[in-house]
Structure formats: C-alpha cells, structure tokens
C-alpha cells in the first residue's frame, strides 16, 4: 500500500506520526511519501521538502512566498501521480493542501483531509471547494462533522488526539505538590495568551482580576504559565508593578497543563487553551480583546454564537465568554467568584467536562486510519451510532 502525506507544521507532524503508526499496524508493508517533520520521517516517511516549507503565516509572508509554494505544489502533484499512491492525505495546512487534494482527486487519486479548517465559523462558502477536493474530511469535533453532513461532504468524526492524550481522571493534589502549591488553599490559574498582543491587551486586566480576588480571599494562590521566554519577561514586568501579587504567584515556564490541573478555576484567552482546560475538567472564564478593527471585522465574518471550543462542543453557554469591552475586571471577577467559592457548582462543572472529555476520547489515530483505508478501498466511511447521535445534536 502507498500513502501520500503532506503535513504543514509541527502539529501536523505529531498528527501524522500517529496516523502512520495506525496504518502500519494494519498494513505492515505500507510506504509513505510526501512532506513531514522529524517524527514522520522517523516513522518511515520519505519527505521531499522540510516541514517548514509550508509553515508560512501572515498575509505579507504568504504573498512573498507564494511563487515558491505554487512551485512546490506543482512538483508534489507530478511526484504523486508518478508514484501512484492508493490515497493522498493532507494534514491541516488547508490553503495549500486543499488545492493539491483537488488536483489529485481530479486525476483519480482518492483524497482525505485530516483536521477541518474553521469553515463552519467563517467563509462558509469554502465548503463547495472542499466538497470538490476530498473524498473524506476527518474532524476532531462532533459539531464539525454535523456541519459537513449538512453540506453533503463525506465526513468522519474521529475524536480529538488531545482527548486521547489526557487522562479521564487527574490528580489536583499531586499537581499542586509538583508546583509547590499549598494543598488546601484555593488556586486560580491565569493564562493570558501566547502572543505578545494578547499580553498587551489583557495582561494588566488579568492581574487586576487577581488583585481583586486576592483581596476577597487572603489564601488565594495564583499560578501563571508563561508560553515562551518573551512572554515570561512581559509578565514579570507587569508583576513588578504589583508587589502584593508577587508573593502569592508562581510564574512558570510552560507547564500550562499542570497549572490547570492544580487549579480550582482558570481565567484564559480563547483558543486551544480553553479546550485543554475542559479536558483537565476545570471551570473557566474566557476573556478576549483585540484591535478594534480586527474586532469589527470578526463580528461581521464569524457566523457562530460562541468562540470557545467548550461552548461550541456543548452547543450551549457553559463557559462565560467576555469579549472586547465586556472583558472588564469587574465582570470577570463576577464570573470567576462562583467557581472559587462554590464547591458544589465547581464539582458539577468538572463532572460535565469529564463527560465531554469521554465523548472526544475515541482513539483518533486508529479511527482516522480506518477512514483512510475505507477511502483507499472505495468503501463507505466507518460510522457508528455515537457518531450519528453527535452529528444530529
């Protein structure tokens, strides 16, 4: 069996190696070719370009590299058609991969796209192009699969690899010991973001919230994981102006997951961190601010009633979302206070998140491999009652 794989960045390399291992478990003599990173190469991929070739972010950067990217895509098309794979899989990188997938599908190669672009949230017209490009879309989340089914795109909800990675039970006290936190006193985790703009827009607000809650609860402990050395410097500068917070704050290098498990509640910006907090089963408040022009544009483009993944998965407002002018210290404190003070409410939300975690913990790599093999063989995608219930929710 021959499988052509194209991954565009480090997250794609991590997904690709799990998929490759699951395919090899079913077909020991499978061959892999395309683009991947060090983990995929170690698992047997013959990579024609470095992983970083497709990792271009930002409009100006994309325009600058566009001629080179077009040349790479043409080469991959010629190479794939000469190699004659049983199936081609694009892993994320939709702006590059969907075009290649369409070209190869038109030439008779079955195609799969792994990781849905956010077409359900904005620029929904792209789904027509996706329908032409793929024989199957593999999604992490049930509401994504429901969207594609409504638009007649063959789809399989395979579950989320992060849900597979995180345990269904976790130990708050052990995490506190690891981080040097008191076992009995309440803990608030602050995750103000991994980008400089996020710290600029929300860093001071998050610390204002921490000061107000600390004044209410003298024993409150704060833990702040810094996403990078640069973010740590920015957070240290903000904390230096608030000596009252420094004594009760543990500023960490990374270790966001441990910080969330150790906490009673989490304050974070939206993004993957919200999903991870849900998979750690911790109540949270999502706050986000952006440049006014960006917010105006987002309000007119985004078609979903929520921005945080826990709410999108649940299809209801489980998590408070305070966006732009609503993200004030007073409002954030009002929403965080119950999670810190009401053990019964906190336990109920933790139980709800654990149930959602279990729904996403489906063995994503194995399910993705089953779907890829079905496409390669011209069979219908594997489905089960759980998928149909989720898709119809």
The neighbouring-strand residues paired with 288 are 323
Q: What are phi and psi of 182, to 5 degrees?
A: -65, 135
What does the pLDDT read at residue 390? 46
Looking at the chain, the domain(s) classified CATH 3.40.50.2000 span: 2-159+362-382, 172-359
CA distances for 179 relative to 50, 167, 203, angstroms: 37, 19, 22
What does the pLDDT read at residue 123? 67
In terms of pLDDT, which residue wins out, 78 or 270? 78
pLDDT over 60 at 52, yes or no? yes
pLDDT over 50 at 393, yes or no? no
What does the pLDDT read at residue 69? 82
Please give the average per-residue pLDDT across 316-322, as a whole number. 93
CA distances for 122 relative to 117, 127, 304, 317, 384, angstroms: 10, 11, 8, 20, 29
Q: What is the pLDDT of residues 91-141, one digit of tens each?
A: 988 889 999 999 999 999 999 999 998 886 666 778 999 999 999 999 999
pLDDT over 60 at 384, yes or no? no
The hierarchical CATH code for the domain 2-159+362-382 is 3.40.50.2000
Of the pLDDT bands very low, low, confident and very high (cuts 50, 70, 90), residue 300 is low
The neighbouring-strand residues paired with 111 are 88
**Is residue 232 classed as helix, strand or coil in its secondary structure?**
helix
Burial of 155: CB neighbours in 10 Å, binned 0-12, 13-18, 19+ = buried
Question: What is the separation of C-alpha 120 from the centre of its chain, rounded to a whole number of angstroms?
Answer: 15
The CATH superfamily label for domain 172-359 reads Glycogen Phosphorylase B; (3.40.50.2000)
What does the pLDDT read at residue 121? 62
What does the pLDDT read at residue 87? 98
CA distance 247 to 123: 47
CB 331 within 8 A of CB 205: no
pLDDT over 60 at 252, yes or no? yes
What does the pLDDT read at residue 64? 58
Q: What is the pLDDT of residues 139-150, one digit of tens each?
A: 999 989 999 999
């Amino acid at each position: 069996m021959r499988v052509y794989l194209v991954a565009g960045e480090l997250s794609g390399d991590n997904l690709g190696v799990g998929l490759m291992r699951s395919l090899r478990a079913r077909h020991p003599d499978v061959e892999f070719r395309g683009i991947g990173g060090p983990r995929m190469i170690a698992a047997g991929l013959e990579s024609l370009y470095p992983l970083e070739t497709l990792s271009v972010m930002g409009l100006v950067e994309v325009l600058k590299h566009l001629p080179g990217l077009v040349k790479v895509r043409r080469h991959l098309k010629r190479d794939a058609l000469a190699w004659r794979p049983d199936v081609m899989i694009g892993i994320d990188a939709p702006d590059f991969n969907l075009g290649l997938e369409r070209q190869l599908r038109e030439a008779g190669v079955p195609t799969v796209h792994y990781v849905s672009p956010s077409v359900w949230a904005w620029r929904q017209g792209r789904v027509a192009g996706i329908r032409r490009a793929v024989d199957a879309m593999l999604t992490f989340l049930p509401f994504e699969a429901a969207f594609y089914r409504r638009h007649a795109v063959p789809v399989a909800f395979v579950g989320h690899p992060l849900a597979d990675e995180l345990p269904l039970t976790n130990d708050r006290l052990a995490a506190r010991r690891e981080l040097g936190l008191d076992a009995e006193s309440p803990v608030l985790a602050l995750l103000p973001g991994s980008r400089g703009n996020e710290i600029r827009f929300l860093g001071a607000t998050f610390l204002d919230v921490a000061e107000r809650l600390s004044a209410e609860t003298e024993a409150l402990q704060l833990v702040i994981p810094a996403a990078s050395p640069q973010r740590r410097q920015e957070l240290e500068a903000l904390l230096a102006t608030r000596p009252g917070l420094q004594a009760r704050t543990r500023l960490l290098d990374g270790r966001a997951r441990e910080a969330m498990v150790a906490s009673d509640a989490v304050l974070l910006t939206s993004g993957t961190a919200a999903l991870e907090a849900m998979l750690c089963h911790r109540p949270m408040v999502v706050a986000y601010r952006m440049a006014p022009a960006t917010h105006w544009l987002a309000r007119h483009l985004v078609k979903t009633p929520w921005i945080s993944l826990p709410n999108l998965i649940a299809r209801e407002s489980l998590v408070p979302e305070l966006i732009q002018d609503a993200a004030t210290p007073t409002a954030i404190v009002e929403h965080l206070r119950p999670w810190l003070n009401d053990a019964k409410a906190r336990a109920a939300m933790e139980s709800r998140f654990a149930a959602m975690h279990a729904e996403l913990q489906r063995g994503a790599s194995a399910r993705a491999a089953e779907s890829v093999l079905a496409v390669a063989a011209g069979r219908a995608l594997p489905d089960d009652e759980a998928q149909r219930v989720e898709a119809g929710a």
